[in-house]
């Protein structure tokens, strides 16, 4: 049986919410991020709309450079609460389209619709309906990629942005991937690109022309993974939560080391929400919360705190995480990575404490 996997990614997400809420901005370049202070500002661009991208602006770019390239743009501070609300609405809609749903960031998710759909026409119809639903109920656009593996679905969702649907059937996979730059492969960034280019590999087609042993010889474990991805052998499932674990953790590396406290908190909030979505569904409770933080230069710390009993309450976790984060407020270094771990897990314990919110979500 064919697997049908969708990857959904909102278009210029933070900027799209701002456009929706301020129609007078439509058609103008909008940049969300640090204050540009007329070109003297520190910090980076979170994202920008497609109008601003015409000037070469993109996420993680220094805000001062963005201002230089596009001084007439509309520069806005992020309003994370609004983005979280929009994201939650979108994810509820996406989740309702299949039992197998995996949110992977504030604006992306995978869906497995193999049980719902019998062929790619049905997958396309479902994707159209999903897009329409999000557009009408939330007022923003999403791009969707459909394939038989997660990684090719992800490459596909990025292919026809914004507001696109790209379907890659198994017999078209090679033609679809052949001329794409290797950085389209999830996990190959600017650094790996240089390394691959040095060995004469520029397009995905160049990889498709190599055997697996050759890829392993050239690039080791990473080469093996990449070869499997482009040849359609990524067997990862769309998974909500794997049971039988001692702890559940997620971490995130910043695109650029940062000391933007708001950005750090928002990422932690994002990670916390993501973890809880799974925990609530799986009825998993925990007692210990840990914060992992890595500063520039790879200096890494973890700090933990335990509750007196098992709970499942994302607000309490966030409160503890911020408390633990505050212990590092005097560090004058930028942050590279942050993560949350919940441990001392228990499934549906006898004594539990849930908030009204987590109760409702469950």
Contact residues for ligand TTP (CB under 6 A)? 9-14, 46-47, 59-60, 106-107, 161-162, 255
**Beta-carbon count within 10 A of 163 CB:** 14
Catalytic residue among 19, 108, 269, 270: 108
Pick the closer one to ligand TTP by CB: 162 or 205: 162
Q: Which partner, ligand TTP, Mg ion, none, binds residue 303 by CB below 5 to 8 Å per kind?
A: none
- Tell me: does residue 19 bind Mg ion (CB under 5 A): no
Question: Backbone dihedral region of 70: left (phi > 0), alpha (psi from -120 to 50 degrees) or beta?
Answer: beta
Instruction: Pick from 5, 6, 8, 10 the residue near Mg ion by CB under 5 A.
Output: 10
CB of 148 to ligand TTP, least distance (A): 22
**Least distance (Å) between residue 156 CB and ligand TTP:** 13
Q: Which does 140 bind (CB under 5 to 8 A by kind): ligand TTP, Mg ion, none?
A: none
Residue the block writes with tokens 């000037």? 55
Question: Which strand (E) or helix (H) includes residue 265?
Answer: helix 261-282
Least CB distance from residue 82 to ligand TTP, whole Å?
12
Which residue lies nearer to Mg ion by CB, 107 or 313? Answer: 107
Q: DSSP secondary-structure letter at 226?
A: H
Calculate helix-pair angle for 80-96, 261-282, nearest 10 degrees: 30
Compare residues 159 and 328 and give the one whose CB is closer to Mg ion: 159
CB 289 within 8 A of CB 320: yes
- Residue 115: active-site member: no
Interaction pattern, residues 100-119, with Mg ion; x per rule: CB under 5 A: -------x------------
**Dihedral of CA 314/319/323/325: which sign?**
positive
Q: Which residues of 327-339 are buried (b: 16+ CB within 10 A; e: fewer)?
A: eeeeeeeebbbbb
How many CB atoms are located within 10 Å of the residue 147 CB? 29
Between residues 39 and 187, which has the closer beta carbon with respect to Mg ion? 187
Q: Active-site residues: which are they?
A: 108
What are the residues binding Mg ion (CB under 5 A)?
9-10, 13, 107
């Amino acid at each position: 049986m064919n697997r049908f996997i969708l990857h959904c990614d909102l278009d210029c997400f933070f900027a799209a919410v701002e456009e929706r809420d301020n129609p007078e901005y439509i058609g103008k370049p909008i940049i969300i991020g640090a204050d540009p202070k007329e070109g003297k500002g520190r910090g980076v661009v979170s994202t920008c709309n497609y109008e601003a991208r015409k000037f070469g602006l993109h996420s993680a770019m220094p805000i001062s450079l963005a201002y230089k390239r596009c001084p007439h743009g509309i520069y806005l501070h992020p309003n994370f609460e609004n983005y979280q609300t929009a994201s939650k609405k979108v994810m509820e809609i996406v989740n309702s389209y299949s039992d197998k749903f995996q949110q992977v960031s504030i604006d992306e998710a995978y869906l497995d619709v193999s049980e719902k759909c019998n062929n790619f026409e049905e997958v396309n119809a479902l994707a159209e309906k999903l897009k329409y639903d999000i557009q009408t109920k939330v007022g923003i656009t999403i791009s969707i990629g459909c394939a038989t593996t997660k990684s090719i679905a992800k490459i596909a969702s990025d292919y026809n942005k914004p507001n696109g649907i790209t379907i890659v059937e198994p017999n078209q996979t090679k033609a679809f991937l052949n001329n794409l730059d290797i950085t389209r492969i999830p996990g190959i960034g600017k650094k790996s690109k240089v390394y691959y280019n040095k060995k004469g590999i520029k397009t995905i087609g160049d990889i498709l022309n190599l055997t697996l042993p050759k890829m392993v010889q050239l690039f080791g474990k990473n080469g093996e993974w990449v070869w499997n991805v482009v040849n359609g052998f990524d067997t990862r499932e769309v998974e909500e939560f794997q049971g039988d674990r001692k702890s559940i953790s997620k971490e995130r590396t910043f695109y650029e080391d940062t000391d933007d406290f708001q950005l750090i908190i928002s990422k932690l909030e994002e990670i916390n929400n993501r973890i809880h979505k799974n925990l609530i569904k799986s009825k998993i409770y925990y007692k210990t919360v840990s914060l992992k933080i890595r500063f520039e230069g790879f200096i890494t710390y973890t700090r933990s705190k335990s509750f007196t009993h098992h709970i499942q309450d994302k607000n309490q976790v966030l409160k503890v995480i911020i408390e633990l984060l505050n212990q590092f407020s005097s560090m004058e270094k930028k942050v590279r990575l942050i993560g949350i771990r919940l441990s001392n897990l228990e499934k549906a314990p006898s004594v539990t404490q849930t908030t009204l919110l987590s109760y409702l979500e469950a």
